[in-house]
Structure 1
Amino acid sequence: MPASELRAEGIAARLSAAGLTPRVERHQEVTSIEAEVPESLSADSWREVLEAVAEADRFGLLANSLNGRTLWAAVRTVAPATGDVREPGRQR
């Protein structure tokens, strides 16, 4: 199993252990993990959740009055392209 997949599965397992129900989707360049966050999540559980998603390449929280709160994380499955290197320290 690739390291990126292990990381994504580890994040999902930690979210589950914190009381959330994660959804994992594999895409061409990233694996995404999403979970609905209940209003009643304790401070200790929030800490566990944030430590889990900090292992991802990107993460965030979508919140609105219609859909509640959705935590998301993304783990790259391929190395990002760096573009052309023009000179030391200058990439485009």
Structure 2
Amino acid sequence: MWRKVFLLGAITALVSGCMTAEEQRAADEAKCRSYGFAKRNDAFAECMQRIDLDRSANARANLYDYWGRPYYPYSRYYYLNRANVADRAAEKGR
């Protein structure tokens, strides 16, 4: 019984955080309208484009760690070399 309740709660938590493409677009449009842009003009289109570019940049930034290396938290390389990161950064002059 408790497994079913836990599983249902876990699925509900996972699904509630997702947005469909239509919901994301509606949220972006609402944000641009809140900035004062009228729909169906160049300024509104530029606002939508900037929001999309910002989202893409954030997604790309999350793929790399502080030193610009790809971030794979479950890889063997990440855990074996984690202690030497400060040493390598000092050698590079950072």
**Same fold flag (TM > 0.5):** no
- Structure with greater helix percent: 2
As a proportion of its length, which structure holds more strand? 1
- The TM-score bracket by the shorter chain reads under 0.3
Q: TM-score, normalised by structure 1?
A: 0.27
Give TM-score, length-normalised by structure 2: 0.27
Larger RCO (alpha carbons 8 Å, 6+ apart): 1
